[in-house]
């Protein structure tokens, strides 16, 4: 949690605010930044930052950068002083509520359902960190031109990383290294089939053959 010499709950304390967006906005004010300066440092439009404060959450990467900029951890801004003792596993109905909260499009929900039915996702514990990390990573991968299969692989790795970070923060231990997670995903995933490349002989050889 961010270091502060004030007592818990002092007037203007960002972590005393009731919601994540209110805590982030209060942290920006405490840092002495205007909305425009805050947005400029993150490389987004000020209207986008205003949307975050109004309740439309940023993606995982931007949220991480925003928290670092204002001097608080993601857990501080997410939970304030109501930090849970462990990352709670979501029920199916709670996952649906996360979809609704994030305004997740139907095609992204369908992709996540396929992930849940896959060998990698069938026995996964779906914390909020995992679900949000998966949705962010899959959407980014598709927007960047990745195939569905590649997007699923990237999303699974990012979701595991986000979940491991949540577990580490709550347990106060060192987070799992991302390379270890990548190896774990690769170990659980079937090896892709390699296509045989059919190569033609050099042009000179083809002429001799005639």
pLDDT tens across 66-123, in order?
Answer: 988 999 887 788 888 876 656 678 899 999 999 999 899 999 999 999 999 987 787 7
Q: Identify the domain boundary among 31, 57, 79.
A: 79
Distance of CA 191 to the CA centre of its chain: 25
180 and 102 co-located in one domain: yes
**pTM of this structure:** 0.46
101 and 27 co-located in one domain: no
Tell me how far CA of residue 31 lies from CA of 41, 49, 78, in angstroms: 13, 15, 18
Q: Supply 199's token pair.
A: 């190569």
67 and 26 co-located in one domain: yes
What does the alpha-carbon distance between residue 137 and residue 50 come to, in Å, rounded to a whole number?
A: 23
pLDDT digits (tens, 9 = 90+) for 109-130: 999 999 999 877 877 889 899 9
Count other C-beta atoms under 10 Å from residue 108's C-beta: 16
Give 18's DSSP letter: S
The total number of structural domains in the chain stands at: 2
* Lowest model confidence (mean pLDDT) among 1-15, 101-115, 155-169, 171-185: 171-185
In a domain, 40, yes or no: yes
In a domain, 200, yes or no: no
Give the SS3 label for residue 171.
helix
In a domain, 2, yes or no: no
124 and 173 co-located in one domain: yes
Give the SS3 label for residue 24.
helix
100 and 184 co-located in one domain: yes
């Amino acid at each position: 949690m961010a270091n502060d010499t004030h007592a818990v709950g002092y007037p203007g304390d960002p972590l005393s605010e009731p919601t994540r967006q209110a805590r982030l906005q209060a942290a920006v004010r405490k840092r002495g930044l205007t909305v425009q300066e805050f947005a400029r440092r993150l490389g987004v439009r000020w209207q986008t930052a205003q949307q975050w404060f109004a309740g439309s959450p940023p993606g995982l990467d931007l949220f991480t950068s925003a928290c670092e900029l204002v001097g608080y951890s993601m857990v501080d801004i997410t939970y304030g002083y109501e930090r849970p003792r462990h990352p709670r596993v979501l029920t199916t109905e709670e996952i649906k509520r996360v979809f609704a909260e994030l305004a997740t499009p139907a095609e992204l929900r369908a992709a996540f359902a396929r992930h849940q039915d896959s060998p990698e996702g069938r026995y996964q514990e779906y914390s909020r960190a995992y679900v949000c990390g998966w949705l962010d990573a899959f959407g980014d991968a598709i927007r960047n031109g990745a195939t569905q299969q590649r997007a699923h692989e990237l999303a699974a790795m990012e979701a595991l990383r986000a979940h491991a970070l949540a577990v580490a923060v709550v347990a106060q231990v060192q987070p799992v290294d991302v390379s270890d997670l990548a190896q774990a995903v690769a170990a659980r995933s079937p090896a892709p089939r390699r296509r045989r490349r059919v190569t033609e002989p050099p042009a000179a050889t083809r002429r001799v053959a005639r």
